[in-house]
Amino acid sequence: MENLQKTEDKFSVHSEEDLLAIASINDSLMLGAIKYLSTNGFKWINVPTMTKICENADTLHAIDHFDKTAYLAQTGQLYLESKVSLHKKVWTAIQNSRAEQKEDGKHLHQFQLLEFEHEGDLESLLGNIENTVQAMIKLVLENDREHLEQLGRDVKHLESYLKPFNRMTYSQAVQTLWGTPTEVRWGDDLGPAQEQALMDIQGNTPLFITHYPKDIKFFNMRVNDSDQEVVNSADLILPYSGESAGSAERENDHERLKDRFKVSQMYRVLKQRGVSLKEFSDYIKLIEKNPVLHSGCGIGFTRVSQSVLGFNDIRMTTNYPINKESLY
């Protein structure tokens, strides 16, 4: 299989020297994340790659498991949450699988997802996400500066990622975009066009967008105490790749958690597939037994890699870019 970067001539083909450079940079990125997490008290937890429950119900890969329906895992979040009361800080890395219809420069069907959960609020969570991503980049700058230059990456721009990440609330983002070609109404999700516009406006450096409307986010994200219409959540937007991490405080009131699940879009979709509230009963009982405030995130490794490499096409960052038109 010659040059696995190529998918039907839809994007640039790397030379062998470039492939070696990309592999080295990705190696440093992963080692940087592991180093930060391990030296800051996070315990690695092995989680299933096949599950009966998933987060993004619209993009589930269903499989047969001895005459029962199972799904390829999209996240290890709920499994990690079950270990927070024991270990306080936990992390994992999974191969996220999504039946993604889009075949473009920002979406893959499979990609590495770094996830961690810990006791603490949104503020402590954002600190750990920023520190993890910066630790990844620092090791690349330490080990792979020549490789970055070989690939034509603006190293000075990448060094700007080591400054404190910018922040704005979702409401501020909507207000900032008002009157522009990418404006959205409050309650709409922010897509790639809005993310890129915000990148352009605030200087093309990493940006946390916080406190999204609860109706467009996962059912177990904790509702803000002061504004019941938003959840204590944040997405990390990076240059080139856009949304690269999703994060939130987790709901620690089991009754509110159960009520949120019953009215969620996720439950409506899963109910049509024969999934009932019973499938989530263990998780709800866990929160009832251990109502500790905790928070967590998923960092898309390939999205971080795309931003660090400065590529417009995410398929150029990995040896085996799998989407609906390619399977190795």
Answer yes or no: are the C-beta atoms of 37 and 118 closer than 8 Å: no
> How much is the pLDDT for 57?
63
In a domain, 269, yes or no: yes
Cβ contact 96:244 at 8 Å: no
What's the domain range around 214?
A: 16-317
Helix or strand (DSSP H, E) at 152: none
Cα radius of gyration (the chain): 20
What's the burial of 142, exposed, middle or buried (CB within 10 Å: 0-12/13-18/19+)?
exposed
Decide if 327 is inside a domain: no
| Residue-level pLDDT at 58 | 66
Token pair listed for 252: 């620690």
* Inside any domain, residue 5: no
Query: Residue 141 maps to which CATH number?
Result: 3.30.930.10
| Domain-embedded: residue 4 | no
Overall domain count for the chain:
1
Per-residue pLDDT of the chain (328 residues; tens, 9 = 90+): 233 343 333 445 578 999 999 999 999 999 999 999 999 999 999 998 888 766 566 677 788 889 888 888 888 898 999 999 999 999 999 988 877 777 777 778 788 999 999 999 999 999 999 999 999 999 999 999 999 999 999 999 999 999 999 999 999 999 999 999 999 999 999 999 999 999 999 999 999 999 999 999 988 999 999 999 999 999 999 999 999 999 999 999 989 988 888 887 777 777 777 777 777 788 889 899 999 999 999 999 999 999 999 999 999 998 888 877 777 7
d(CA 173, CA 210): 9
Q: What sign results for the dihedral spanned by CA atoms 306, 309, 312, 315?
A: negative
Is 2 contained in some domain? no
Q: Is residue 116 situated within a structural domain?
A: yes
* Residue 11 within any structural domain of the chain: no
Whether 137 maps to a domain, the answer reads: yes
| Maximal CA-CA distance, the chain | 56
State residue 267's pLDDT score. 75
Residue 308 near residue 147 (C-beta atoms within 8 A) = no
Q: How many of the other CB atoms lie within 10 Å of CB of 192?
A: 17
CA dihedral 75, 78, 83, 89 (to 10 degrees): 60
Tell me, what DSSP letter sits at residue 126? H
pLDDT at 56: 62
Report the SS3 class of residue 187: coil
pLDDT value, residue 322? 81
| pLDDT for residue 109 | 78
pLDDT at 307: 97
